[in-house]
Amino acid sequence: MLDIKKLSTKYQVKKLTATDADHALQLVQSNSSFFNFCPPAPTRHSILEDMKVVPADKTLADKYYLGYYADNKLIAIVDLIIGYPAEMDAWIGFFMVDAGFQKQEIGSRIMTELSVALSENGLKRIEVAYPKGNAQSQQFLLKNNFVAMDREVPVPGYTMVIMEKVFHNK
């Protein structure tokens, strides 16, 4: 089990619940251009569904739909599944920083601290996907040491590009 209090030294991290859905929706709506690449635009209902959806062989015990807070304001969301797609992996199904907090290295700090914590928990790598054509997402992932896996997954309305970061645990 992941100790979410240890995921960041700078931000407060908590599991988001249905009571947080409105704040989560405000955050994702601040990034409207993202959904040009992966429609449809988010709704409160889609946020609530995202909080519960897991791959067929996983349970909600493996899922961490996390909010990162600065001064009690939700500034980032990470949808994380531990032990997927393989036992020693983690999958980031969604990662977004509030548009008002971008270009300040916040996303990179969160990704770095998350990578360290997952590695320290014995995991070997992270997989993540971004919508094909979204240069901002691609550049962010490359900057944070993710590499392309030459794998694309078509989903209704768009295509996801899969990237990974392999940890070199000692």
Mapped onto helix, strand or coil, the DSSP state of residue 106 is: helix
- Percent above pLDDT 70 for the chain: 99
Q: Is the pLDDT of residue 6 over 80?
A: yes
Say how far apart CA 71 and CA 42 lie, in whole Å.
25
Which fold is adopted by the domain 4-166? Aminopeptidase (3.40.630)
Mean local confidence (pLDDT), 8-25: 97
Mean local confidence (pLDDT), 88-111: 95
Q: Which two tokens mark 100?
A: 């008002």
- Percent above pLDDT 90 for the chain: 89
Banded pLDDT at 36 (limits 50, 70, 90): confident
58 phi and psi, to 5 degrees? -120, 165
- The total of other beta-carbon atoms located within 10 Å of residue 153's CB is 11
Alpha-carbon dihedral 41, 44, 47, 49, rounded to 10 degrees: -110
Q: What angle do CA 122, 124, 129 make, to 5 degrees?
A: 130
| 106: Cα separation from own chain's centroid | 13
Say how far apart CA 13 and CA 50 lie, in whole Å.
18
Q: What's the pTM? A: 0.93
Place of tokens 């990578």: 115
| Cα separations in angstroms, 62 against 15, 114, 121 | 12, 16, 14
